[in-house]
Chains A and B, each alone.
Chain A
Amino acid sequence: MVLRANRLERITNLVLALLDTPRPLSLREIGDVVAGYPAEQGALRQAFERDKRTLRDGGIPVAVERIGGEDQVGYKILAEDYYLPDLGLEPAEEQALAFAVAAVRIEGDLGRDVLAKLGTRGPGDVPPIAILPSLPALGPLQQAVRVKAVVEFAYRGRRRAVEPYGLLFRSGAWYLVGRDRTSGTGGELRTFRVDRLEGDPVPGDPGGFVPPAGFDVAAELRLAPWSPGPRAGARRGADGTGGSKIDRGGRPGEVTDDDRDVCEVVVEVDVREARAALALVGPGALEARLDDGSVRLRFAVGDEAALVSWVLGCGDAVEVVEPARIRATIVDALARAAGL
């Protein structure tokens, strides 16, 4: 659908009228006074609802209030919903933001629109220092983090309701860390890879939860795809009674990947992949750093298939030392791939 010129004009008129009015306007009043609306009631309502959706998509919510009488509800754009609060930025701070937006390229280039809103001029042509991938879900998720709204989305084939605690870009990907209310009995801390969300996240009302004080997203992120779930080792329920299985979208009682046995693995990683491997498993896994730049890592694995896939993909840069069972699985797969 192409936005016709007269519709943009009508919506602009609607914004001005709803911002300026001291009291909520009924649909009838809107039709009467705002230029560009059809007179017929059905067409008027249809046109208004469409415009309201466009406003919402542009980040401008229309407040609905009860006004009594025949029309029952009225509409208004609240100043606090529309205007950017005064940030009180010093000139040096404006320049620093402008430089950041220019030097860090984020797909979509929306930072530039922010500068425009702040009335700040960009610093011109700056060579990029970092290029970050963007994803449609990041804006809505970030907003949900800011206003503490529970978000719903599908992940690994199951609908989740998650209290979003924070977003982190690590090892080339965006992650959301939060409490998944639909996991376990009291909800579980989970890490979600944002590019694996299935469909758009749907936020609930602001103030839907209270994040734990002093929550450290970077420390709580579980990056490695083979990481055991938080309960897998302890086998205890969040309420301390223990024993219940975690539902991962399967049928009740189905054994899910959180319930697999957890084993401890030792790997040696040579200098080519040492840094990347440490980023995956975290610094706590470092057992030894050898003279040739290689590292010896010890960590828990809940999903063996994921670990095997990673080790194979590292070619001769990573070697599983323990346990012998996984070592044998790797040697077996390599022998088959080598045609032996």
Chain B
Amino acid sequence: MSVPATPGRRAQHELAGAGERLRRLLAVLAYLARVGEASIAELAERFGLDERVLVGELELAACCGLPPYTPDQLLELVVDDERVVAHGLDVLRRPPRLTPDEGFAVAAAARALLAVPGSDPAGPLASALAKLEAALGEDRLDVELDSPEHLGALRDAVEERALVEVDYLGSRPGGETTRVVEPHRVVALEGRFYCDAYCHLAGGWRRFQLDRVEALRRAGGTFERRPVPPELEGPHAFTGGDSATLALVALPEGRRVLLDRVAAGPVERSDDGRVVVPVRVGDEHFLGRLLLRLGPDAEVLHPPSLAGARASVAAAALRRYGARPVTPDR
């Protein structure tokens, strides 16, 4: 048996999605071969395609077939404004194999959902996964999500649109607050659970880290859904405190990789050859910790109000060390 090669995404990109487009067309044809007839709107939704693009591809495929391309050997696709009727696609009746990327995507989604506390380890999802493994090979893939204490209660509150009061540990020492919030959704980002909520104390949207929720109580009453603001979309959304500021951090080119995951916009180059990375920061404490980690070569160019972030966090940490005499090595 020959081996399916698995080129990187870059190679696929250079082919401008040729393989991708073919794969999609064959999946559409396989589906049509099974169902015989479908509405254009349903097909477009099912395959995530624009209706015009879909009709274009189908009209193209209607001229395809097997040698010698006599009428009985052509794919018979009749496309009108609303529906497509298919005959003679026997060779395509069974769906094509999953590509490596698809096999990964479905296994990762299923494993992640099974990792959410409260999921059924012996339910239909687990048995579906076992059948996929039987067909594709053992996936040996796992997803670990954290399981904060109040996850279940908070998810119930989201479902019921119930106002809750939380005791929340901030990122700063002594930053504990009690606030009434409208929990709109609970989602695991990079393995940690967060709650996006409209906070009555702050009078605005906040993203709360669930493992910093000390206690949670129903506050009584429900809330109306509000649109979640765009800055809370996406896996790298800002997660910090009172106000989101865009800071410009300069650091040597060689250390740029340390900020790749938090960069909030295009990276530029400063006159002295360093790179300048925009980073969204919640508060001085967050930025100070980041700068300490980056080392003495990193520097805040903007805003001037945050220039002292590193020094103030360092001073706070030093106080902690001052509280304990240095112990001799054993």
User: Is B truly associated with A?
Assistant: yes
- Give the CA-CA distance A4 to B289 in the complex, in Å: 52
Main secondary structure of the interface of B (DSSP, over half): helix
- Give the CA-CA distance A281 to B98 in the complex, in Å: 36
Q: Mark A87-125, 1 if CB is under 8 A from B, else 0.
A: 111101111110111011011111111111111011000
- Give the CA-CA distance A54 to B14 in the complex, in Å: 11
**A-B pairs with beta carbons under 8 A, tally:** 410
> Which residues in window 40-86 of A have CB below 8 A to B?
53-64, 78, 80-86
| CB–CB A35/B22 < 8 A | no
| CB–CB A315/B288 < 8 A | yes
User: Which chain A residues border B106 with CB–CB below 8 Å?
Assistant: 97, 100-101, 110-111, 114
Instruction: Say if the beta carbon of B24 comes within 8 Å of chain A.
Output: yes
Instruction: Say if the beta carbon of B177 comes within 8 Å of chain A.
Output: no
Q: Which single member of A62, A84, A149 contacts B135 (CB below 8 Å)?
A: A84
Chain B residue nearest in CB terms to A312 = B292
Chain B residue nearest in CB terms to A19 = B91
| 14 A-B pairs in the complex with CB atoms less than 8 angstroms apart | A16-B66, A57-B12, A83-B95, A84-B94, A84-B135, A93-B131, A106-B108, A113-B27, A121-B46, A173-B190, A217-B140, A313-B290, A315-B292, A322-B329
Chain A residue nearest in CB terms to B185 = A127
Instruction: Say if the beta carbon of B152 comes within 8 Å of chain A.
Output: no
Q: Which single member of B19, B145, B187 contacts A55 (CB below 8 Å)?
A: B19
| CB–CB B144/A100 < 8 A | no
* With contact pairs A55-B19, A93-B127, A275-B146 given, residues A9 and B3 touching in the complex (Cβ less than 8 Å): no
| CB–CB A133/B296 < 8 A | no
Chain A residue nearest in CB terms to B67 = A33
| CB–CB A96/B128 < 8 A | yes
Shortest Cβ gap from B251 to chain A (Å) = 13
Shortest Cβ gap from A184 to chain B (Å) = 23
Shortest Cβ gap from A22 to chain B (Å) = 12
Instruction: Say if the beta carbon of B226 comes within 8 Å of chain A.
Output: no
User: Which chain B residues border A104 with CB–CB below 8 Å?
Assistant: 108-110, 112-113
Q: Which of A226-234, A242-250, A251-259, A326-334 contacts B (4 or more CB under 8 A)?
A: A326-334
Shortest Cβ gap from A106 to chain B (Å) = 5
Q: A residues near B, CB below 8 A?
A: 1-3, 5, 7-9, 11-13, 15-17, 19-20, 33-35, 53-64, 78, 80-90, 92-97, 99-101, 103-104, 106-119, 121-122, 127-134, 136-140, 142-149, 165-173, 199-201, 203, 205-206, 211, 215, 217-218, 270-272, 275, 279, 309-310, 312-316, 319, 321-325, 327-328, 330-331, 333-340
* With contact pairs A8-B21, A337-B311 given, residues A330 and B190 touching in the complex (Cβ less than 8 Å): no
| CB–CB A142/B14 < 8 A | no
User: Which chain B residues border A138 with CB–CB below 8 Å?
Assistant: 101, 104, 108
Number of interface residues of B (CB under 8 A): 130
- Give the CA-CA distance A33 to B69 in the complex, in Å: 9
- Give the CA-CA distance A334 to B295 in the complex, in Å: 10
Chain A residue nearest in CB terms to B184 = A127
Shortest Cβ gap from B302 to chain A (Å) = 19
User: Which chain A residues border B124 with CB–CB below 8 Å?
Assistant: 90, 92-93, 95-96
Q: Which of B78-86, B273-281, B319-327 contacts A (4 or more CB under 8 A)?
A: B319-327
- Give the CA-CA distance A3 to B289 in the complex, in Å: 49
* With contact pairs A165-B140, A316-B316, A324-B329 given, residues A334 and B22 touching in the complex (Cβ less than 8 Å): no
Shortest Cβ gap from A221 to chain B (Å) = 9
| CB–CB B95/A118 < 8 A | yes
| CB–CB A337/B7 < 8 A | no
Shortest Cβ gap from A164 to chain B (Å) = 8
Q: B residues near A, CB below 8 A?
A: 1-12, 14-28, 30-31, 34-35, 46-48, 56-57, 60-61, 63-69, 75, 91-92, 94-110, 112-113, 115-116, 123-125, 127-128, 131-132, 134-146, 169, 171, 173, 185-192, 211-212, 234-235, 285, 288-293, 295-296, 310-311, 313-321, 324, 326-330
| CB–CB A140/B131 < 8 A | no
Most buried by B among A2, A62, A121, A172: A172
Shortest Cβ gap from A62 to chain B (Å) = 7
Chain A residue nearest in CB terms to B313 = A315
* With contact pairs A93-B125, A313-B293, A324-B328 given, residues A55 and B22 touching in the complex (Cβ less than 8 Å): yes
- Give the CA-CA distance A222 to B311 in the complex, in Å: 33
User: Which chain B residues border A271 with CB–CB below 8 Å?
Assistant: 169
| CB–CB B10/A200 < 8 A | yes
User: Which chain B residues border A322 with CB–CB below 8 Å?
Assistant: 327, 329-330
Q: A8-B25, A113-B105, A313-B289 are in contact. List 12 more A-B contacts (CB 8 A).
A: A11-B18, A58-B18, A81-B97, A89-B131, A96-B123, A101-B105, A104-B113, A106-B105, A143-B4, A169-B144, A275-B211, A327-B321
